[in-house]
A and B are shown apart, each in its own frame.
Chain A
Amino acid sequence: MGSLASLAARRGEGSADGAAPDDEDPAAIDARLVVAARAGDPAARDAIYRRHARMVLGLAHRLLAGASEADDLLQDVFVIALSRLDRLEDPRALRSWLGGITTRVATRRLKWARWRTRIGLGDAIETEQMISPETPPDVRAELRALYRMVGRLRPVVQVALVLRRVEGMTLPEIAAQMDCSVATVKRYVDEAEVLLRAELSRGGRSA
């Protein structure tokens, strides 16, 4: 387990999202960690968390439009993932598998939030201040318009839009994360893009 311990020790050297240094194949490291974690090595589980928790928190934050529930979602995702590592067919695909779990759990939470809003229990979230001050004006306008629509879109459409316009995923990648067909994703994205354009034309591009 010495190599795993060194991986865990190197956990702070990766990118902002916890990825491995450039000279290592991140997928290969993930695969070794998954195998070790399945064998019960706590250091490997810890390393998996530290390598990917920032990615999961970031994705949760953007899917939930900055709601404070992102921390709960981070916990839920790793509780699910670490207790079901044996079901991960390709250990090299750990990162996208975690992304898929995050997307599905977030969608479920958005559905709950929509219901709470319908019955008058919803909370308004001020997203404007969450957009980085470094954001170029055109991107800021789009993010502002996109997150203004939050809560009015169907949860699956909202998720597809965020994955497309904020995470920058391709349609096949989104389909894999949402566990549905590419055609379905295209329908969601098309629906959202029409509404996004309308939102932008209604003032989203103004300061």
Chain B
Amino acid sequence: VSDRREDHEEDRLDRRAYFAPADADARVEASLAAIDRRLSPASRRRRRLAYGGTGAVLAAAAAAVLSWIAVRAPGAPPAWAGPVLETGVAQVAVALADGSRVESDAASEIALARSASDEVRLALRRGGATFDVARRPDRRFVVEVDGVEVSVIGTRFTVRRISDPHRAVEVAVERGRVEVRAGDEHRELGAGQRWRIDLEPPSRAQLGSAAESERAAPEIASSAAADRADEGADEGAIAPAIEGASPDRSSEDRAAPLGAEAPAARGRDEAASLFEGALAARHGGSLRGAEASLERLLAEHPRDARAPLAAFELGRLRMDALGDRQGAIRALERSLAIGRSSPFREDALARLVALHRALGQERACERRAREYLTRHPEGAHAGDVRRGCTTP
């Protein structure tokens, strides 16, 4: 085997050295501790609890959208994994690969916008968090919130996004110094200093319309039409982009006849607005409003590129926050039907297994478990799926 490999390597068009990661040694070292933590038995228990726990735990957890859920634990915090950390009723502490630590308040959402050797950039979308930043002179650590940037090299500070009675951002420094930029304003804060930046008052219109639509939301439209839309989106994605058109064109644009650009664009805008309205409603605490916006998006824009994700999000919302298991099953089934090549199929299947198991629906659970293990024998949820379909 090794001889064949060595022979082959002489012939390779090997360009690896020309596109190699910077600071590989440091990054490899930085990840080792995080891997150890994630492999520890306590960490595995925490993740199992977060993903497959009882309804009460799920309702309390109010899980992360595209991320792994971490539950605060004694001792070393778990490693940050995934692009977004979202907390429910509990505080959560996580460790970043560079050794920094984020202690998120309850009901907060933080996105990891960039994690590189020269910069770590987080976006605080909701709530607040305290950041204990490992000192590394060659790396900037930046927290963005509503246009305000807080950047440091090594320190401990807290950032809070305030929405009531007026939108504002508050920065408090416990140790070291931070630099805060808000538009043209720029200020340095030292240990013990605090700065509150008042922003525009929030608009409640979007939340109101989302809440109103809850009662009027029609049920979901034909999955076959959306299925075709999903296939079309995949097949057509490269062609217009290579010709220099916008890479974000949705299947609705391509399906529209000549001269129908305006209605197509309007539909896309409406779908985008509904999706963003759902996120805003959820962040504002209106879970039913978020549910209604997602239902409307699916009913009124089944061919939109966001539809499969909207169905998945609807299932996740019902399962994790609303305690509506049957509704979650319907939404996740819908997500599978319209998003045949979507990246969250694996997650949707795993969630269906967990839902059918919790409801004592053994045959449905076994069917979905077989499908999951056939498609994803090495998948992230394979261990949980292999637990079987007996009601706990």
**Chain A contacts to B: CB under 8 angstroms:** 25-27, 46, 49-50, 53-54, 57-58, 60-62, 66, 68-72, 74-76, 78-80, 82-84, 87, 92-93, 101, 104, 108, 111-112, 114-115, 117-120, 123, 127, 130-132, 134-135, 139-140, 142-143, 147, 149, 151-154, 165-170, 173, 195, 198-199
Determine which of B14, B15, B116 lies in contact with A68 in the assembled complex, contact meaning CB atoms within 8 Å.
B116
B34 within 8 Å of A (CB atoms): yes
Q: Is B20's CB under 8 angstroms from A61's CB?
A: yes
Q: Is A139's CB under 8 angstroms from B116's CB?
A: no
Query: A75-B31, A79-B39, A111-B342 given as contacts; is B19 within 8 A of A152 (CB)?
Result: no
Q: For B15, list chain A residues within 8 Å (CB).
A: 135, 139, 142-143, 165-168
Closest-by-CB residue of B relative to A17 is: B16
B370 within 8 Å of A (CB atoms): no
- If over half of A's interface residues share one DSSP class (helix, strand or loop), that class is named, otherwise mixed; here it is helix
**Chain B contacts to A: CB under 8 angstroms:** 1-2, 8, 12-22, 24-25, 27-28, 30-32, 34-35, 38-39, 66, 79, 81-83, 97, 113-116, 233-234, 237-238, 241-242, 247-248, 250, 272, 275, 305-306, 309, 341-344, 346, 378, 380
A-B contacts, 17 listed (Cβ < 8 Å): A27-B2, A53-B28, A54-B25, A62-B19, A68-B114, A72-B81, A74-B31, A83-B39, A92-B1, A101-B378, A112-B66, A120-B248, A120-B272, A130-B19, A139-B18, A153-B238, A167-B16
Q: Is A165's CB under 8 angstroms from B13's CB?
A: yes
Most chain A beta-carbon contacts within 10 A, residue among B19, B31, B35, B81? B19
Closest-by-CB residue of A relative to B383 is: A83
Determine which of B14, B234, B275 lies in contact with A154 in the assembled complex, contact meaning CB atoms within 8 Å.
B234
Distance between Cα atoms of A198 and B305 in the complex (Å)? 27
Q: Is B34's CB under 8 angstroms from A75's CB?
A: yes
A186 to chain B, nearest CB (A): 16
Q: For B342, list chain A residues within 8 Å (CB).
A: 111, 115
Closest-by-CB residue of A relative to B79 is: A75
Q: Is A117's CB under 8 angstroms from B343's CB?
A: no
Q: Is B306's CB under 8 angstroms from A71's CB?
A: no
A172 to chain B, nearest CB (A): 10
